[in-house]
């Protein structure tokens, strides 16, 4: 893994407070692609009767995966990545176990990256939540 990707991995796992709280783990990272594992915690429940993840938490993890993808698409370290737009489709509920979030770049422009993201339950290929995001990347000068 090159230095930049290692730095992106470190930021995602150790420096973003929400990710640190949730225990987000980077499973795979390369230019234009990431795969994250987010363990289940009681604090992520939205439906406590059926024990399903909160939809807002799933949306946040799609946003994180898309932003991370954007960060891998440029040769230099970035100054700031911000979400311009995100669309989320909730297809099925996420049960009370770990989820896998994947993101890939669809188009990389001079300052923006369009991404596609999906969430699956760990150990399953069935897509639970999917999204598309547009991210602004401000590169260091």
Number of domains in the chain: 1
3-state SS record for 3-14: HHHHHHHHHHHH
Closest CA to 92 of 118, 74, 60, 61: 118
pLDDT tens-place string over residues 53-64 = 999 999 999 999
- pLDDT at 93 > cutoff 70: yes
Backbone φ and ψ of 120, nearest 5°: -130, 160
Instruction: Work out the percent of the chain whose per-residue pLDDT is above 90.
Output: 77
For residue 126, the domain's CATH number is: 3.10.129.10
| pLDDT bucket at 78, cuts 50 / 70 / 90 | low
Which helix (DSSP H) or strand (DSSP E) does residue 60 occupy?
helix 55-72
pTM to 2 decimal places: 0.92
pLDDT band at 76, cuts 50/70/90?
confident
pLDDT value for 108: 96
What residues form DSSP beta bridges with 82? Answer: 136
Average pLDDT, integer, range 92-99: 97
Residue-level pLDDT at 77:
66
């Amino acid at each position: 893994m090159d230095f930049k990707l290692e730095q992106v991995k470190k930021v995602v796992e150790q420096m973003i407070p929400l990710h640190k709280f949730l225990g987000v783990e980077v499973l795979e990272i390369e230019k234009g692609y990431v795969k994250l594992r987010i363990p289940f915690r009681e604090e992520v429940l939205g439906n406590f009767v059926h024990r399903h993840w909160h939809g807002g938490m799933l949306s946040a993890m799609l946003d994180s995966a898309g932003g991370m993808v954007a960060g891998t698409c440029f040769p230099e370290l970035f100054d700031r990545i911000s979400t311009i737009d995100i669309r989320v489709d909730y297809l099925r509920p996420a049960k009370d176990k770990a989820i896998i979030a994947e993101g890939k770049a669809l188009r990389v422009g001079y300052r923006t990256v369009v991404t596609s993201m999906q969430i699956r339950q760990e150990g399953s290929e069935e897509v639970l939540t999917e999204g598309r995001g547009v991210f602004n990347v401000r590169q260091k000068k």
